[in-house]
């Protein structure tokens, strides 16, 4: 059952080099309607969709976003109102089968990227505030996404690139977002 909407390419670094094992995404170009789409991955031992739902005002601050985990060009493109697919993965080292990775919720950007208040070493990490929009009754498993990765809507998406498991944030082309929300 497809999640119900509530409402509504590779690039290099400044030096021209790509970090080993980390696919770099070009900063997405903001369309005329002004909205971009993203996918944020979090392990269940770090944050769950239920924790966001239960948080005060259904909002959380995501800290520790750095260039290794989230391409800064993509992260800095985030603005208030953008929509984010929340991807849940099993806790580190988990062997439990019922914790299949997949998209479990839709959240929106409540506050765009700002200096991470927990970055006490000045590493340039960023934070972003997210607000829960919809917890999916039936999550979209990674296996279902992979079944469609060569289809027109998902082909070429950075989620399926080599080294994508190293990145916690991905830009989602509108065509892919629409397919996930309407068809999966």
Q: Is 20 exposed, middle or buried (0-12, 13-18, 19+ CB in 10 A)?
A: exposed
Whether domain 37-158+165-178 has CATH 2.40.50.840: the reply is no
CA distances from 79 to 55, 76, 122, 167 (A): 21, 8, 23, 19
Over the chain (184 residues), what is each successive 10-residue block's mean pLDDT?
Answer: 45 39 66 92 93 98 73 86 95 72 97 92 90 96 94 89 74 95 94
Q: Where are the domains of the chain?
A: 37-158+165-178
Q: How far is Cα of residue 58 from the mean position of the Cα atoms in its chain?
A: 18
What pLDDT shows up at residue 67?
Answer: 58
Cα dihedral across residues 151, 160, 103, 83: positive or negative: negative
What pLDDT shows up at residue 65?
Answer: 78
Residue located via tokens 């299949």: 100
Strands, E, within 48-172: which ranges? 59-65, 83-89, 102-115, 126-141, 169-171
What pLDDT shows up at residue 167?
Answer: 78
What pLDDT shows up at residue 20?
Answer: 45
């Amino acid at each position: 059952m497809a999640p119900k909407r509530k409402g509504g390419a590779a690039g290099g670094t400044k030096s021209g080099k790509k970090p080993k094992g980390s696919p770099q995404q070009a900063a997405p170009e903001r369309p005329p309607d002004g909205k971009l789409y993203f996918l944020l991955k979090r392990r269940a031992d770090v944050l769950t969709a239920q924790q966001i739902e239960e948080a005060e005002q259904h909002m959380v601050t995501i800290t520790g976003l750095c260039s290794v985990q989230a391409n800064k060009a993509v992260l800095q493109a985030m603005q208030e109102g953008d929509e984010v697919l929340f991807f849940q993965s099993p806790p580190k080292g988990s062997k439990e089968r019922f914790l299949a990775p997949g998209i479990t919720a839709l959240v929106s950007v409540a506050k765009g990227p700002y200096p991470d208040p927990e970055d006490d070493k000045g590493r340039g990490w960023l934070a972003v505030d997210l607000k829960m929009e919809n917890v999916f009754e039936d999550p979209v498993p990674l296996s279902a996404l992979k079944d469609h990765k060569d289809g027109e809507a998902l082909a070429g998406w950075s989620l399926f690139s080599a080294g994508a498991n190293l990145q916690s944030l991905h830009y989602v082309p509108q065509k892919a977002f629409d397919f996930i929300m309407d068809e999966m």
